[in-house]
Amino acid sequence: EAKFAENKPLKGRKILVTAGGTKERLDPVRYMTNDSSGKMGFAIAEAAKEMGAEVTVVYGATTVEPPQGVELISIESANDMLNAVLSKLPQMDIVIKAAAVADYRAEEISPHKIKKTDERLTITFVKNIDILQTIGKQKTHQFVVGFAAETENLEAHAISKLKSKNCDLVVANDVTQTGAGFGTDTNIIRIYDRSGLVVALPLMDKKAAAKHLLTLIAERTAAPGS
């Protein structure tokens, strides 16, 4: 009995994971996206399921297949992701925002295919709503985990994102390191809370990194006396 509980430290917990990149449409056949593969978010979803959680995955553009045995919600844009996440938020216990959300979208989506008439083309982009920050403001009891992809000043940026978005943990990775970040099967993550560095994990596959993260989340969300 005790051993079973140890193997399922997230038993019955409802976890929302976002994964992949968003697509921001320019016209009916073109869009802007990023290098996110979805691998980290899907690895978290898969590991959370194995640890006993009820998992919902809101995912955008990915290069790999989504996991099975979880609730899957496919979206295109950052605004779609925002709406899907907010509709699920009240029933969730834990939210993990691994998605690479576009910071900007085209101010106007051309209803027709843009023609190559002019030598120069200017498209105005406007800022997308920050989904994680919105969750941070609206959350009631949810444990919220953000990600921070950085190329410099990892710790300072990670902690400032954690605070400004009211997260419980931030998973930071230096995407310039070999074996970390977009597209790879491995990652090198550092996990921060309000007081600073919690753990710096060495290079490992994304599933193993996901298990470390989820074990920490399970410890920090355990009911007193359980």
Q: Can you give 83-146 as a three-state secondary structure string?
A: HHHHHHHHHCCEEEECCECCCEEECCCCCCCCCCCCCCCCCCEEECCCHHHHHHHHCCCCEEEE
CA distance 168 to 145: 6
Quick one: which of 30, 35, 87, 103 contacts Ca ion (CB under 5 A)?
103
Is residue 81 a contact partner of residue 22, using CB atoms and an 8 Å limit?
yes
Quick one: which of 146, 159, 173, 190 contacts ligand CTP (CB under 6 A)?
146
Work out whether 35 is an interface residue with ligand CTP (CB under 6 A): no
Question: Which token pair is 160?
Answer: 């400032």
Closest separation between CB of residue 112 and ligand CTP, Å?
27
Is residue 172 a contact partner of residue 137, using CB atoms and an 8 Å limit?
no
Is residue 62 a contact partner of residue 43, using CB atoms and an 8 Å limit?
no
Look up 153 and say whether it is catalytic.
no
CA distance 170 to 190: 8
Nearer to ligand CTP, 21 or 66 (CB): 21
Question: Which token pair is 174?
Answer: 């230096």
User: What binding mask, one character per residue, do residues 161-200 give for ligand CTP by CB under 6 A, x or -?
Assistant: x---------------------------------------
182 annotated binding-site participant: no
Question: Which token pair is 61?
Answer: 């553009």
Closest separation between CB of residue 58 and ligand CTP, Å?
11
Quick one: which of 17, 144, 148, 154 contacts ligand CTP (CB under 6 A)?
148
Check 34, 128, 173, 187 and give the catalytic one: 34
Please report, as ranges, the residues that interact with ligand CTP according to CB under 6 A. 78, 97, 99, 101, 103, 128, 130-132, 146-149, 161
Residue positions forming the annotated binding site for CTP: 103, 113, 147, 161, 165
Please report, as ranges, the residues that interact with Ca ion according to CB under 5 A. 103
Give me the active site residues, please. Answer: 34
